[in-house]
Chains A and B, each alone.
Chain A
Amino acid sequence: MEKAEYMEKAAQHIVDADEEAVEKLAREYLIEGFDPIEMIEKGLSEGIRKLGVLFDRGEIFLPHLIIASEAMTTAVKILEQAMPADQVGKKLAKVVIGTIEGDVHDIGKGIVATMLRVYGFEVFDLGRDVPIATFVEKAKEIGADVVGSSALMTTTMVGQKALEKALKDAGLRDNLITMLGGAATTEHWAAKIGANFWAESAGDTVMKLKEIFS
């Protein structure tokens, strides 16, 4: 198969959320000896970008997007194994992300984490129901460039404010970017508590972070 055909097929399998097919394709592609990074950037990413557009237009729905982004993660892992070590290690920025303590909603946060990985960020996903102190400890431990928090409830939004303060108190705040999201939050809220930015969706998050780190 021509390289271009691989790219088209990779994109299409992602659009179809066909995990088995994309996995098989990635393996064949590596056997051919082509550049793994190119498949991520021109094939898989193109597929997920198309899906994002379809999702925003209301033509596909969340289950489709979840399965497609998992398929993408699987394929990226396979391709990464074939990358030179310095390429794998070359990440745009280190991101700590999690859902605020008391909040178990993690679907949206999970999609954000997956997409950031896909776009070349090193992501430390702390999961859901994460105590403020854990965000701070992790950020310190790994020297995070970005700390992102998700809150889906009016009760847990206040934790994002507490996180801003905790990062300040730990002396970390000036050296990193904070971002937040989740259904309960708004741009207004992010501005009010002094976060660097709010993102409406995973796509929006990638766009805003890429503007800062590239």
Chain B
Amino acid sequence: MHGAHFSLAATDTSLSAPAQDDGASNDADIDRPETAKGKRAHLPFGRLFVRLLSLVVFVALWQAASGNRLHLGLVNFQNVPAPSEVVPALRDLLQSPKIGAHVGSSLCRVFAGFVSAALAGIALGLMIGRSRWAADLLQPPLEMLRPIPGVAWIPLAILMFPSSELSMVFITFVGALFPVLLNTIHGVSGIDPRLIAAAKSLGAGRLRLLTEVIAPGAAPSIVTGLSIGMGTSWFCLVTAEMIAGQYGIGYFTWESYNLQSYADIVVGMLFIGVFGMASSVLVRKFGDLLTPWYQIGNACGHE
């Protein structure tokens, strides 16, 4: 009987249980099976309290350091805006008409770059994973480009594309492409060859094999690639916006530095964090919807 007992650690990949949490609290994990009577258990009140407290202490320390213009030699808090300055700046930005343009253009760029990277990465990955011919033809140049981080493409991208808009989308694309591509190849090569033999025996041709066996078989790995790719594409976009942008969250953050409105720098950073995290979670959740069997497999403690 594989009950839902082991389900928590495996399925709860949401924000409330980041990866480091599993290793850090071994003793707490031991009593999980008992507390979990089939349904999803919430954090015990005590642990929730500790977590909230830790956040409060962090903000308080930040306030203390910036409010007192602390100078620690190595690190200097003199020009770091305190939370008490950041909150009004955040309120101002939320009320200003610029916010829509900044967030909107960043989202559009990420969307365009990420979606095209996902399509290209999955298509190339399936081809390379399935056909030796495609692998020999496509892999050498891709292997050569792979170690170059998306950010290193910025100058060349500006030269290559007619508009800075396109060059930023391209950089986002490069950022997401390789995680998606590599995870797709990995997923395809991990498919049990017996499943392929079985599908052929049941009458599947080349195309059906791809849509019915290869693609779903590689799907969990592809989803992992997509969520990693989402993170890297945000990272690349924000950097690109700082250099080449007009509008966008990265641009806003860098502009605030140039205009010496330091509180806005932190507001920009907060936006970057929140949107980056939210889009990764979105990709994960979407991926989970696409791979329901995989969630069950995990929950049952099977491979």
A pairs with B? no
**A residues engaging B (CB < 8 A)?**
none
**B residues engaging A (CB < 8 A)?**
none
